[in-house]
């Protein structure tokens, strides 16, 4: 199968696309891929490292206020459509899939106009502007949250697949997670992370609650600060306590997060869709602190979906304190029944076969086109 992938701007759009490519290659080893991304997005550096052919177009998003920049955006979109059509004619894909971000707009729209089977994947509980636009043109819309299916009323076909990152994470080796951290397998691990770049509010709460960690000596705490916050966080805690508690590990970044998550008992993190797919695939209970700085406040809506199911507790950033966060962790970790219930609820939301479901739909569309 010949597949064009598109999606970019953030890892939350890129890694699901790569998970689909991995699953497709696993099922059909002779598959060929072309990834069309933005010139300046993260995909321009991430995708080539995955050994997938990459081409780029210039595209930007709309400003929320009236601006001449929006006129330029329309012009870039139209130019991007023409560039995409040329790339698609040359590559001759069987199917095109977009996983979000502005770059999906011209690429997937071009595919639809050329009559190439196309689908989009929406990671968040609330669809973004680009996917709402594309949903009127594509053959299939795949969603990560069951309740999102009703939000694409004009679409030809909507399916609930979950997020393909779940498929990548569910097979992670937890022993490698313990080994990479250098911690004992005999003690439960609580991981606190504010995303790949870190989050000031979460790091401040980490510093505040460090004074309490000796009250839970049988638990290993792992603070993942983000590169920018690592030194300040480390120095603040050492200065405050005269050193680090024996049950605390502070890291700037974790490169093997799936393996670390597999070894984790409770996760404290933001509420990005891909990360939630990862933790629910493993049945991890969570305390979620959604970022307030995202479009349509979609992280809170993602988080509330897990909270409603009993899989997570939600703390909004204005309400976040070190003491409150620690008490939430203590309550979950010291109540075996609560932890078990949250874990079961989380696993119930997981879709470890997500990538397989998406690839199956891609094959269906490709086969339908071939017969036509």
The long-range contacts involving 113-117, CB below 8 angstroms and separated by at least 24 positions, are 113/81, 113/85, 113/137, 114/85, 114/88, 114/89, 116/88, 116/369, 117/362, 117/365, 117/366, 117/368, 117/369
Check whether 12 is labelled as a binding-site residue.
yes
Check whether 86 is labelled as a binding-site residue.
no
Q: How far is CA 22 from CA 30, 113, 118, 355, in A?
A: 12, 27, 18, 9
Q: For residue 63, give the DSSP letter.
A: P
- Can you tell me the distance from the alpha carbon of 126 to that of 301, in angstroms, rounded to the nearest whole number? 7
Task: Assign 301 to helix, strand or coil.
Answer: helix
Asked whether 22 and 5 are in contact (CB, 8 A), the reply is no
Q: What is the CA radius of gyration of the chain?
A: 21
- Can you tell me the distance from the alpha carbon of 328 to that of 313, in angstroms, rounded to the nearest whole number? 8
Tokens standing for residue 181: 């951290």
Q: Which is nearest to 12 in space by CA: 41, 34, 33?
A: 41
- CA 119-121-125 angle, to 5 degrees, is 145
Q: Which residues are annotated as a binding site for UDP-N-acetyl-alpha-D-glucosamine?
A: 10-12, 124, 196, 299
Q: Which residues are annotated as a binding site?
A: 10-12, 124, 196, 299
């Amino acid at each position: 199968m010949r597949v064009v992938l598109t999606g970019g701007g953030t890892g939350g759009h890129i890694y699901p696309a790569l998970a689909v490519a991995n699953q497709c290659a696993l099922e059909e080893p002779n598959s060929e891929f072309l990834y069309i991304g933005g010139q300046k997005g993260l995909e321009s550096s991430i995708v080539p490292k995955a050994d997938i052919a990459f081409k780029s177009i210039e595209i930007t998003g709309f400003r929320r206020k009236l601006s001449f920049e929006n006129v330029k955006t329309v012009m870039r979109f139209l130019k991007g459509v023409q560039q995409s059509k040329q790339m698609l004619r040359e590559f001759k894909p069987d199917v095109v899939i977009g996983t979000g971000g502005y770059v999906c707009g011209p690429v997937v729209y071009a595919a639809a106009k050329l009559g190439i089977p196309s689908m989009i994947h929406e990671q968040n509980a609330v669809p973004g502007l680009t996917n709402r636009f594309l949903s009127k043109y594509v053959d299939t819309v795949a969603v990560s949250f069951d309740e999102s299916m009703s939000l694409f009323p004009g679409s030809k076909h909507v399916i609930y697949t979950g997020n393909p990152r779940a498929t990548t994470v569910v097979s992670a080796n937890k022993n490698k997670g313990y080994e990479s951290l250098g911690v004992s397998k005999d003690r439960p691990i609580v991981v606190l992370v504010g995303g790949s770049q870190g989050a000031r509010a979460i790091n401040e709460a980490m510093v505040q609650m460090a004074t309490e960690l000796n009250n839970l000596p049988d638990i290993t705490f792992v603070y993942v600060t983000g590169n920018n916050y690592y030194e300040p966080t480390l120095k603040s805690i050492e200065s405050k306590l005269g050193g680090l508690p024996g049950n605390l590990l502070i890291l700037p970044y974790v490169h093997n997060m799936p393996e670390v998550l597999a070894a984790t008992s409770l996760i404290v993190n933001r509420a990005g869709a891909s990360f939630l797919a990862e933790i629910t695939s493993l049945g991890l209970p969570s305390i979620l602190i959604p970022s307030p700085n995202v479009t349509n406040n979609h992280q809170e809506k993602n988080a509330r979906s897990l909270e409603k199911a009993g899989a997570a507790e939600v703390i909004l950033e204005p309400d976040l304190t070190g003491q409150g966060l620690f008490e939430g962790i203590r309550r979950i970790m010291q109540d075996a029944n609560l932890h078990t219930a949250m874990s079961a609820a989380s696993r119930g939301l997981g879709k470890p076969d997500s990538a397989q479901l998406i690839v199956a739909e891609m094959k269906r569309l490709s086969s339908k086109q071939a017969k036509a």
